[in-house]
Structure 1
Amino acid sequence: MVNYTAAHEVALEKFRACSLADMARCSGYPIEGNTLSVDFLGGHYNVEYPSGQFWSGSVPTPSDELPVFTQILILHYLANLNESVETGTLISYKELPGGSIYIQPFTHRAIDPLVRSFGANPDRLLDVATRLGGQFNGLGDMGVTFRVFPRIPVTLILWRADDEFPASGNILFDASAPSILPTEDYAVLASAVVFGFKRISAEL
């Protein structure tokens, strides 16, 4: 099991070095008292400032509900004060800085589970995405765009199986992505989206 303690501490230091007002302005999440109000994959959390503690309702969020690597991802997003502008141009993971080196792990971690979970029933992907505020984008046989964070849209695409080829898929990002999070975070983010969608699909 990966030990995320050091990465969590670094993320907390970056979070605490920012002002609450700056993080609210740049992240798109509102301030509630001394917290940032964060919606993430169907869950609602309050991130306390400056502690970085995640709260669900009036109690700390248990790690089985929001794993520490997901907390790190959210803290990274909140602490990035770069006000980049969304371009509308889509890029693949391998087009992110250094992404071509890690495309196989990314595929194994995010794209393959997407195809396994929704390839046989792509319409289910649209059902889940729209439930979370995402929308159909017209790409592939089924394509949806979902904002994981206010400034980070993720595009999920599926192609149905036919007589010659099995079902396949891809996950794309806006070209502004490298200015918001480091490349390795997009593997965590894409995996979180796919498995979050899978969980929500099972609940529908």
Structure 2
Amino acid sequence: MARVDDFQQARDLAAEQLAQQDLTRIARRAGYETVDDATLRIPFLDRDYRVSAPAFTFSDEANPEAQIPLQEQVLILHYLLGCRQQLKGQWVAYREIPGASFYFGPFVKRAIEPLKKVFGQNSAGLRTAAERLNGTPIDTGDAGFHFAPLPYAPIQIIVWEGDEEFPTEANILFDASVGDYLSPEDAAWLASLTVYRLMAVAR
């Protein structure tokens, strides 16, 4: 498991690389807007961040004193580095992301298992939480939703409620382009951060 200093190092490296690029071009290719010549506005699930160049420091618009989790910072910065507006419109399971088989166990532990535990018998709760995170219903499972936590890295979260005959099932799907933008670890964080935010707003 990555340590705090590993995330900090990854954050600092990504920020250094982004500092060498034009902020307007970064915003355009990643699907964001600039607030001014040195600031990006980045909606992320139910929060709005401002990211200031050249250090690419984060602040929460609603709570400027809040600490932004390093995992979220790293994920967003890696997305800003890699995104090229190349959605393929084809949904794939996590295992189908190139190189993801090595990280499949942590992905299940961090995303699929919590999803099943909290919403496996509570599809109504998932619907309520998804609405608060701007999820769009899809016609799959007992409850399924499309999310765009990052503009060009959407995911689908799906739950099938279990019964006496069949166990609870859940899945998280990605656009097939995600491996072009994000590493398998980042894709897993994208899924798990969305699931944990759903859990938080459902409480």
TM-score, normalised with respect to structure 2: 0.92
Give the percent of matched residue pairs that are identical in Structure 1 and Structure 2: 37
Q: Secondary structure at the match of 1:133?
A: coil
Match of 1:70 in 2: 72
Match of 1:117 in 2: 118
Inter-CA distance 49–140: structure 2 relative to 1 (3 Å threshold): same
What is the RMSD computed on CA atoms of the aligned residues? Answer: 1.7
Q: Residues of 1 paired with 2:62 and 2:93: CA distance?
A: 39
Give, in angstroms, the shift of residue 81 of structure 1.
Answer: 4.4
> Contact conserved, 1:134 with 1:146, CA < 8 A, in 2?
yes
> Contact conserved, 1:146 with 1:155, CA < 8 A, in 2?
yes
Q: Residues of 2 paired with 1:176 and 1:138: CA distance?
A: 22
The letter of the residue matching 2:84 is N
Moved over 4 A (4+): 58-61
Q: Residues of 1 paired with 2:47 and 2:170: CA distance?
A: 26
Match of 2:39 in 1: 35
TM-score, normalised with respect to structure 1: 0.91
Q: Please, which of 49, 54, 59 is the counterpart of residue 55 of structure 1?
A: 59
> Contact conserved, 1:54 with 1:60, CA < 8 A, in 2?
no
Q: Single out whichever of 51-60 and 170-179 deviates more from structure 2.
A: 51-60
The letter of the residue matching 1:185 is D
What are the superposed Cα offsets for residues 17-74 of structure 1, whole Å, 9 maximum, x if unpaired?
Answer: 22111111011110001210011120111000111111223975533xx211111111
Q: Residues of 2 paired with 1:124 and 1:60: CA distance?
A: 30
Gaps of 5+ in 2: none
Match of 2:85 in 1: 83
1:198 aligns to 2:199 (yes or no): yes
Give, in angstroms, the shift of residue 163 of structure 1.
Answer: 1.3
What are the superposed Cα offsets for residues 114-148 of structure 1, whole Å, 9 maximum, x if unpaired?
Answer: 11111111122122222222111111121111111
Match of 2:10 in 1: 7
Gaps of 5+ in 1: none
The letter of the residue matching 2:15 is L
The letter of the residue matching 1:20 is L
> Contact conserved, 1:133 with 1:146, CA < 8 A, in 2?
yes
Q: Residues of 2 paired with 1:132 and 1:11: CA distance?
A: 27
Q: Secondary structure at the match of 1:148?
A: coil
Q: Residues of 1 paired with 2:66 and 2:165: CA distance?
A: 46
**How is 1:124-203 mapped onto 2 (pairs within 5 angstroms)?**
124-202=125-203
Give, in angstroms, the shift of residue 172 of structure 1.
Answer: 0.5
Q: Residues of 2 paired with 1:113 and 1:90: CA distance?
A: 22
The letter of the residue matching 1:99 is A
> Contact conserved, 1:152 with 1:174, CA < 8 A, in 2?
yes
Q: Residues of 2 paired with 1:180 and 1:157: CA distance?
A: 23
> Contact conserved, 2:45 with 2:134, CA < 8 A, in 1?
no
1:21 aligns to 2:24 (yes or no): yes
The total of aligned residue pairs comes to 199
